[in-house]
A and B are shown apart, each in its own frame.
Chain A
Amino acid sequence: MTKLKLALYWASSCGGCEIAVLDTNEKILDVVAIADIVLWPVAVDFKYHHIEAMPDSAIDVCLFNGAIRSSEHEKVAKLLRAKSKVMAAFGSCACFGGIPSLGNLTNRAEIFHTVYEEAPSNENPSRTVPKTATTVDGHHLELPETYDTVMTLEQVVPVEYFIPGCPPTVDLILKVVSALANNSLPPPGTVIASDKSLCEECYRKKEDKKITRVWRPHQIVPDPEKCLLEQGVICCGPATRGGCGALCIKANMPCEGCFGPPAGVLDQGAKLVSAIASIYQASGEEDVSRMLDEIVDPVGRFYRFGLAHSLLRRKRMTPPGTLSAAKQPLAEVTAR
């Protein structure tokens, strides 16, 4: 049997997805037995020009992790798409934008300002921020352009499979490897996980979904047998795809939502707001304002791994002072 050609790539990611591949331990040898790795920047020394030199569709499968946040990410995503028969979004960042897409609550200018000018650990009197090109001693240097908006892989190139998780679990990775080995990949468009919500595979006792306050995980030690939501801990299980084996739940921590929305759910955060609203017992304005105080950061909580994949995708940026356009004189509003 001719060996498969496999590419692995990281875009805007933390490297955890790479560790997850290595976490397959000795099973990684099964991967090498069926496939030749043609690109894997973290572990193997092949360069972009090696890929560019290949004919189109020469690579059988590309496992692409990380969100798209710079011109380099986009360029390599398009290159690997052209050279690969099958493109798989590997991990929450490639599937839904992941943690990096919380950067969509701001933009490049604000991020550069915080990181390069404001950060207390910086000494930057000349206020230097990254540029896409500069000349030093007659040498022309170029850097990729950082984008204002973080995107999912599918927002840039067509994708056949989605392997969610932060990072994908070893079980899911081995499922993919064995499907590759047996040439039994599911139909394109499949999310390699469960179709149901995490709650459906959760072993905890669910009795009465009514809460009178919300606890953040550091404020309470929850009962390990009872549903976390019923104990007032925001658990993303109702709006999150199952298939992870409830790993966080078993460690007595709430689901953070890294598997993204289950089949049929369009917007994970909106679904979670609806879930919390339907169980929170508020009998007056006072209760409602207390609940708002308890849920400190709704976007960060409900879209932690998927702001880029949500209906709105990002914060709508408006110049300071114009956030509520209705408060402006009518003439100005119609002129916009």
Chain B
Amino acid sequence: MPLLKKMLAQLGVEDERVRLDWVSASEGDRFASIVNEMTAQIKALGPFHRNNGG
């Protein structure tokens, strides 16, 4: 994961767009809160536009 993030940073992809977490099947609340956090974070970043470099 850190290697992927290092590579994505070189390609101009924000760190906040990628996240890896482990949640057990018994941790329903934690699962929901992580999904909500991630969704809010991505909404704040806005859509990912692959620009043409200009």
A299 near B: Cβ within 8 Å? yes
Most buried by A among B2, B48, B53: B53
Residues of chain B contacted by A302 (CB below 8 angstroms): 7
Partner of B3, one of A149, A277, A324, A325: A277
A49 near B: Cβ within 8 Å? no
Give the size category of A's interface with B. 35 or more
Number of B interface residues in the complex (CB < 8 A): 24
* Given A269-B7, A302-B7, A336-B46, A148 contacting B14 (CB threshold 8 A): no
A136 near B: Cβ within 8 Å? no
Residues of chain B contacted by A315 (CB below 8 angstroms): 10-12, 53
User: CB distance A105 to B10 under 8 Å?
Assistant: yes
A326 to B18, CA, bound (A): 13
User: CB distance B45 to A326 under 8 Å?
Assistant: yes
B13 near A: Cβ within 8 Å? yes
How near does chain A come to B18, taking the closest CB pair, in angstroms?
12
How near does chain A come to B12, taking the closest CB pair, in angstroms?
3
A313 to B53, CA, bound (A): 11
User: CB distance A325 to B46 under 8 Å?
Assistant: yes
A39 to B13, CA, bound (A): 42
- A interface, over-half SS: helix
What is the 8 Å Cβ interface bit string for chain B, positions 1-25, against chain A (1 contact, 0 not)? 1111011001111111000000000
A263 near B: Cβ within 8 Å? no
User: CB distance A317 to B53 under 8 Å?
Assistant: yes
Partner of B12, one of A277, A318, A334: A318
Residue of A nearest to B3 (CB): A273
A50 near B: Cβ within 8 Å? no
* Given A273-B7, A291-B3, A298-B7, A324 contacting B15 (CB threshold 8 A): yes
A32 near B: Cβ within 8 Å? no
Could you list 12 examples of A-B contacts with CB < 8 Å? A104-B53, A107-B54, A148-B53, A277-B1, A299-B11, A312-B50, A313-B50, A317-B12, A323-B14, A325-B14, A325-B45, A326-B14
Chain A residues within 8 Å of B, Cβ to Cβ? 104-109, 148-149, 269-270, 273, 276-277, 288-289, 291-292, 295, 297-299, 302, 312-318, 323-326, 330, 333-334, 336
